Amino acid sequence: MAYNDKVLEHYEKPRNVGSLDKNDTHVGTGMVGAPACGDVMKLQIRVNDDGVIDDAKFKTFGCGSAIASSSLVTEWIKGKTIDQALAIKNKDIAEELALPPVKIHCSVLAEDAIRSAVEDYRKKQKGGSHAP
């Protein structure tokens, strides 16, 4: 499959690859997908006292589109408030990267990763009272 230039650009120079300290109470970690499905995304956000995401990191096991979607998302959410980050929809990601239909699930996964990271962060802020 021939890739769109934006996917290639993110794939070749992925932004914000890495990990944040998952035990930090300001850090929310989201992990979505499954190895058996061929993609797993880990997205981490660090939220400052003003409720702004001041850092984001990702690690992704998956195809080029999955890596590009994660990379793009980290770029987009940095500097945004949590609510602004949650407003990012998979459609925006798919459009920006011009993903073909067969790769739409990568953008869905990226959106899910944001939700999952935020959820984890909020849980920690409540002192883990809602922990499973």
Partner 1 sequence: MKLPIYMDYQATTPVDPRVLEVMIPWFTEKFGNPASRSHPFGWEAEQAVERARTQIAQLIKADPREIIFTSGATESNNIAILGIARFHKARGNHIITTVIEHKAVLDACRHLESEGFSVTYLPVAANGLLDTQLLADSITDQTILVSVMAANNEIGVVQPLAEIGAICRKRGVHFHTDAAQGAGKIEMDVEAMNLDLVSISGHKIYGPKGIGALYVRRRPRVRLQAIMFGGGHERGMRSGTLPTPLIVGLGEACALCRQEMPAETQRILNLRKRMEQGIMKQLTHVTINGDTEHRLAGNLNISFAYVEGESLMMAIKDIAVSSGSACTSASLEPSYVLRALGVNEELAHTSIRFGLGRFTTEDEIDYAIKVVVRAVNNLREMSPLWEMVQEGIDLNSVRWAEH
- CB of 127 vs partner 1, minimal distance in Å: 24
What single-letter amino acid sits at 54? D
By CB under 8 A, residue 59 contacts partner 1? yes
Report how far residue 42's alpha carbon sits from residue 33's, in angstroms, rounded to the nearest whole number.
9
Task: Count CB neighbours of 66 within 10 A.
Answer: 24
Closer Cβ to partner 1, 15 or 81, answer by number? 15
By CB under 8 A, residue 27 contacts partner 1? no
Beta bridge partners of 41: 32, 60
By CB under 8 A, residue 31 contacts partner 1? yes
Report how far residue 74's alpha carbon sits from residue 23's, in angstroms, rounded to the nearest whole number.
20
- CB of 69 vs partner 1, minimal distance in Å: 12
By CB under 8 A, residue 37 contacts partner 1? yes
Report how far residue 64's alpha carbon sits from residue 41's, in angstroms, rounded to the nearest whole number.
12
Is 63 noted as a catalytic residue in this protein? no
- CB of 45 vs partner 1, minimal distance in Å: 15
78, 52 Cβ separation under 8 angstroms: no
Among 112, 114, 118, 120, binds partner 1 (CB under 8 A): 112
By CB under 8 A, residue 21 contacts partner 1? no
Q: Secondary structure of the chain: what % helix, strand, coil (to 5)?
A: 50, 20, 30
User: Which positions lie near partner 1, rule CB under 8 A?
Assistant: 1, 3, 8, 11, 14, 17, 19, 31-42, 59-64, 66-67, 102, 105, 108-109, 112, 116
- List residues with catalytic annotation: 37, 106
